[in-house]
């Protein structure tokens, strides 16, 4: 065999490998978009039902941030998903929030199992189902309430700090009078 035949077979192998890579990447993108839509549609319905603007469900990372807050969790946990294996931590914290959200809809803890394995089905049932969102059920179960939406915990208002003014310089100024006549001095 001469070197020219090896060159063409290597070129064919590289082009086949590139084609396999592109097709695999294309399939991955299609699956990711389908998964995103399968989550965003019912999540927007859930957000609408719980008093959160539905458009937030369509924004990547912000939807998870809002979903965490709906479950009474700090939304900043979403940033762990950018670190390897951090998405697992974010997912576990989201499951805790899903449990609390399920409680607000009157669901038992077994309903969370559906949310863990089939989250889009869990979201469809809560977002489009007939169950009413009652955040007071979360507090009745002894759990902290949501941080966003109906029933959101609002931090207690802090009283304004007392303003410290320097003491006035000099003698105190008498109050202003309204040009009233002064009474005559009393005789002794």
Q: Span 98-107, mean pLDDT?
A: 94
Binning pLDDT at 50, 70 and 90, where does residue 135 land?
very high
Q: Looking at the domain assignment, is residue 159 inside a domain?
A: no
Tokens representing 102? 């399920």
Residue 169 pLDDT > 70, yes or no? Answer: no
Q: Which residue range is the domain that position 135 belongs to?
A: 3-140
Q: Looking at the domain assignment, is residue 9 inside a domain?
A: yes
Q: Looking at the domain assignment, is residue 37 inside a domain?
A: yes
Model pTM score:
0.71
Position 186 scores a pLDDT of 72
Question: Cα(31)–Cα(55) distance, rounded to whole angstroms?
Answer: 22
Position 74 scores a pLDDT of 92
Question: Cα(134)–Cα(138) distance, rounded to whole angstroms?
Answer: 8
The separation between CA 10 and the C-alpha centre of its own chain, rounded to angstroms, equals 51
Question: Cα(53)–Cα(66) distance, rounded to whole angstroms?
Answer: 10
Lowest mean pLDDT among 6-10, 60-64, 125-129, 130-134: 6-10
Q: Looking at the domain assignment, is residue 71 inside a domain?
A: yes
Q: Looking at the domain assignment, is residue 173 inside a domain?
A: no
Contact at 8 Å (CB) between 73 and 147? yes
Q: Span 12-34, mean pLDDT?
A: 93
Q: Looking at the domain assignment, is residue 8 inside a domain?
A: yes
Q: How many domains does the chain have?
A: 1
Q: Which residues contact 102 (CB under 8 A, 6 or more apart)?
A: 108, 109, 111, 112, 115, 126
Residue 102 pLDDT > 60, yes or no? Answer: yes
Question: Cα(65)–Cα(43) distance, rounded to whole angstroms?
Answer: 12
Q: Looking at the domain assignment, is residue 160 inside a domain?
A: no
Rounded percentage of the chain residues whose pLDDT exceeds 90: 66
Q: Span 57-72, mean pLDDT?
A: 94
Q: Looking at the domain assignment, is residue 95 inside a domain?
A: yes
Coil, helix or strand for 144?
coil
């Amino acid at each position: 065999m001469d070197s020219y035949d090896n060159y063409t077979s290597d070129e064919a192998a590289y082009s086949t490998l590139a084609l396999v890579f592109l097709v695999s990447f294309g399939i991955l993108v299609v699956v990711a978009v389908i998964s995103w839509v399968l989550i965003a549609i019912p999540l927007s319905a859930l957000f609408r039902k719980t008093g959160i603007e539905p458009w937030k469900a369509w924004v990547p990372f912000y939807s998870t941030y809002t979903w965490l807050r709906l479950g009474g969790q700090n939304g900043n946990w979403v940033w762990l998903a950018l670190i390897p294996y951090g998405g697992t931590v974010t997912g576990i914290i989201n499951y805790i929030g899903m449990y609390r959200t399920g409680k607000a809809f009157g669901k038992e803890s077994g309903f969370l199992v559906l949310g863990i394995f089939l989250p889009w089905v869990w979201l469809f049932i809560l977002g489009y189902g007939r169950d009413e969102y009652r955040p007071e059920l979360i507090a009745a179960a002894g759990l902290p309430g949501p941080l966003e939406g109906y029933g959101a915990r609002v931090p207690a208002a802090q009283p304004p700090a007392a303003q410290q003014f320097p003491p006035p310089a000099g003698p105190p100024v008498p109050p202003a009078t309204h040009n009233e006549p002064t009474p005559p001095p009393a005789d002794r």
